[in-house]
Structure 1
Amino acid sequence: MQIEQAQPSEAATVAAVLNEAARWIAAEGRPLWTPADIAPERVRRDTEAGGYFIARSRAEVAGVVRLDLEDPHFWPEIESGSSLYVHKLAVRRAFAGHGVPSLLLDFARERAHRLGRGFLRLDCVADRAPLRALYERNGFSLHSVIHKGERAFARFELPVATFAG
């Protein structure tokens, strides 16, 4: 599998993967992202800013992830420049069960290391047990649970130094 930064011309491809994942999650009765979270204009802006990465298998898109240098919304207390933040990790249904999330998280770890960031951090809705288990299987530890509005979010972190490369 190859993972590369999404080009601005690939914003529609990124949006399609995110929307496919959002529809699947909603059909399972567990809606996650709001339409505004994955709106084409927002995805285009984030892609143009270099935030999205695409995983491909034999040139076919398998999944996407957004990596941010800062996350003041969910991690306001964290020192600027110390972490890389994972957001919007999504896998196409055709690639479910092929380890794509782990490959994307490994890529994020490597990128954090190359950028000199000491931690890889992410968050998810606190009641998403399968997602939390995925993060823990990939070496993340629960940092804390915070509340935003009426929702609880589990915040996970991984010291990048633990990644052996």
Structure 2
Amino acid sequence: MQLQDFTIRNTRPEEVDEFIDILEEAAEWLHSNNIKQWPLGMFRNPASRASMLTGIANNQYFTIDYHSPSSGKGTGVGEAKTEIAGLFVTNYDDSFDELLWKEYLLTRGHDWKDALYLHRLVLKTPYQGVGLTPKIVEFVEGKVQESGRHFLRLDCLAGNERLRKFYRTRCRGVGKGGLEELETVWNPDLGMEFARFERQVVPL
């Protein structure tokens, strides 16, 4: 399994239910490990599904495909197979990002909308640990440049120290390091504390 076996593309509307299934599986894993982030069933409600379809139509939802060669049964003929390995979302002006970032960035003289926000990055278990996150981060950095914005930003639960360390030190790949970790912020609506990360992709 090599990185060149993976490609990133826009999610198609007919894939929304598979997208939801992947997110719900991730929510169940988090729940089983006592990580309170995504309530079970939150992605299956009609409002959430409608929001996803809007995001897909706006080219904010992305699918990671794995292309694996497999031999034909008894024929010896190679046949390419494609499977969904994971997914992620990019936001431009989501109210959640505004809540986590706007006030803090005003104190630094920055506009919270001058960024792409990476969310809901989920990789299926067989595809974890193969270096896909740096590939995704590089892809989103390219989208930052295309959009005319300057920053890539993301967040995670403050209590997930393992993930925070990964974002700080290794999420951009070997020899490239990670993102700058900023102050944590408490979200009163969710009753959770979030760690925030950013990278300036384009000079101001």
TM-score by length of 2: 0.72
Q: Counterparts of 1:16-165 in structure 2 under 5 Å?
A: 16-35=21-40, 37-39=42-44, 41=46, 42-49=48-55, 50-58=59-67, 59-70=82-93, 71-77=97-103, 78=105, 79=111, 81-136=113-168, 137-138=170-171, 139-149=178-188, 150-161=191-202
Distance 1:144 1:37, change over 3 A: farther
SS in 1 for 2:183: strand
Identity of aligned residues (%): 27
**Paired position in structure 2 for 1:15:** 20
1:16: Cα distance to partner? Answer: 1.4
2:10 is equivalent to residue 5 of structure 1: yes
After superposition, the CA RMSD in angstroms is: 1.9
- Answer with 1 or 2: which has the greater Rg: 2
Q: Return the alpha-carbon distance in structure 2 between the equivalents of residues 119 and 109 of structure 1.
A: 8
Q: Return the alpha-carbon distance in structure 2 between the equivalents of residues 35 and 29 of structure 1.
A: 12
Q: Return the alpha-carbon distance in structure 2 between the equivalents of residues 44 and 133 of structure 1.
A: 34
User: How many residues matched?
Assistant: 162
SS in 1 for 2:90: strand
Encode CA deviations 1:61-114: one digit per residue, 9 max, x unaligned.
111111001221222235254100011111111212222222222211111121
Distance 1:51 1:44, change over 3 A: farther
Letter aligned with residue 72 of structure 1: E
Higher RCO, 1 vs 2 (CA within 8 Å, ≥6 residues apart): 1
Letter aligned with residue 128 of structure 1: N
Encode CA deviations 1:113-147: one digit per residue, 9 max, x unaligned.
21121000111110101211221122211121111
Runs of 4+ displaced beyond 3 Å:
none
Letter aligned with residue 69 of structure 1: Y
Stretches of structure 2 that go unaligned for 5 or more consecutive residues are 1-5, 68-81, 106-110, 172-177
Stretches of structure 1 that go unaligned for 5 or more consecutive residues are none
Q: Return the alpha-carbon distance in structure 1 between the equivalents of residues 136 and 43 of structure 2.
A: 19
SS in 2 for 1:22: helix
Q: Return the alpha-carbon distance in structure 1 between the equivalents of residues 125 and 92 of structure 2.
A: 28
Identify the range of structure 1 (41-50 vs 94-103) with the bigger mean alpha-carbon deviation: 41-50
TM-score by length of 1: 0.87
